[in-house]
Structure 1
C-alpha cells in the first residue's frame, strides 16, 4: 500500500515470477511463511529433495534494506554467522537460501541469553575481511542518510515528538561521524534483532544464523544500537535505568564503548519509532519515542 502503483504491480506479478523461478532453479514451492515485512517468503523443495527458502523482495521502500547490499553481505559471510546464499536473481530481487529453524525470539531464552547469542553471532561477521571493492554503504553514507531521514519523516508525520529529540539525534549522529574511521569499521548487519536470527539445524549444539542483513560497513556499535531499542516492554517501566543496564551488558559482552552504544541506541529509537508510525504501527512507534524521550535526559 505504501508503494502505490509499484506495490500493486509487484503483487499482481508475484505468482508469475514464482513460476519463472521454480522453472529456473528447479524448485517447487510448498508453503508461504508469515512474519516478513518486506518480502514474500516461502519454503521450497529443491531438485534433490532438500528444503530451502525462497525470498522475493518487494520494490525498495525508504528505510528498508537495499537488496543489492544484502547479496554482497551474504557473499562475504558465506554461511558463517549469516544464512547461506544458494542462488540469487538480481532482476527479480529473489534469493534462494538455506532453510533454518525457529527465530531466536520463539525459542524460550531470556532476554539476556538472547542478547549474548546475537552478540556472539555478530562477532563472526564483524571479523570477516571486507573486499576493497565492496561498494557497500560506509559510516559516512549511513550517518548522512539518518541525518536527512529523521527530520524529513518527523516533518512528514506532523511532529509526533518534540524537536528537541530530533536535534539530540542529529547531535549524536555528528558525534558518531567524528568517531568513525575505516580502521574501526566492520561488516554490520544493521537489523540484528531476535526475529532476524534463526536456529541452524545442522549443528548438534544450539547455534544460530542471522537473516536479512542490511549489508553496511560501520562501527560495531551500530549493530548494538539496534539491540538497545529491542524488547521494548522491558524498557517502558523506568526506561533510563533499564536502558543503562542494557547498554552496560552490551558493552561487557562485546567490549564496545558504552557511549557509542548509547548514542546509536538513541538514534535507532528515534528513527525506528518514526518509521513504525509511518508504516501504520503507531502505538509501538510512539512507545519507542517515549523511551527515547527519557533517554534524552542523560
Structure 2
C-alpha cells in the first residue's frame, strides 16, 4: 500500500490520558508522525530523525528526547538503528472497514516481516497482531450474513497460521496481549480462526486444588540391627500373649466343664451333692415343730 496523502485521526485523541502527560514539543512530535508524508496505512514506517526533527521544528537532541518520552508512555515504538517508528494503537483508532483493505494490509505486513530486521520484525509482528484484532473488532458491526465475513476468515486464518509457524510463541504472545479487554465475541472469533490462542490460554490457567496434596513422611535412617532386635522382641511378646490367651481359654473351658459335671451329678443323685434337704435338717426342732 502506497504512502498516504491524508490522515484520519479520531478527535478523541485529544482526551488520551497518555498524550495529556506530554508537553507541547512531545505532542507535536507525535502528531507529526501521524501527518508525515513518509507514513503509511500500516502505522509503521521509516522516519529518519533529521526529517522528523525538521517536521516538528526541533533539534536532533530535542527529537531524541521526545521519542524516548513517547516510548515510555507507550505511544510509539522506535528502532534507532533502522530509524523505524511504529504508532501503537494506529489500527485500534481507525480499524479497516472492509475485507479489501484488510487484504492490502496483510500483503504489506507479510512483505515487511520478511524484509525487516530483528527489532523491526518484532515491531511488525505486534503491529500485525494489532491489525488482526482491530479488524475483527470493527467487523462486529457487519451483518451476520455479510459476505465480508467469509472473506475475512479466508484471509486471516492462513495469515495467522503463517505468522505462528514463522515466529512461534512471539506471535501468540502479541496476539494474546491485543485480545485482552476486547470482549468475548472478538476472542471467540479469533479463537475459531486460530485455535492455538485458546489452547494457550487454557493451559495458562492453573487447575483448582480442592484438597491438600498428600505428602510423604520425612526419611528416617534406622539401624538394621536395632530393627531386627525390635522385630524379635515383638515376636516373643506375641508368642507370650498367645500362650497366656491359650491358658486362659483352657482354664475357662475346664471350669465350665467341672461346673456342668457337678450339676449333672447332683441331678442324677449319684454325686456327693444331693438335691433336697439333708438328714440333720429333717431332724431339727424347727422341722419337728412344723409338724
Same structural fold, with TM-score higher than 0.5 when normalized by the shorter chain: no
TM-score under structure 2 length normalisation: 0.30
TM-score under structure 1 length normalisation: 0.29
- Higher share of residues assigned helix: 2
Structure ID, larger Rg: 2
- Higher share of residues assigned strand: 1
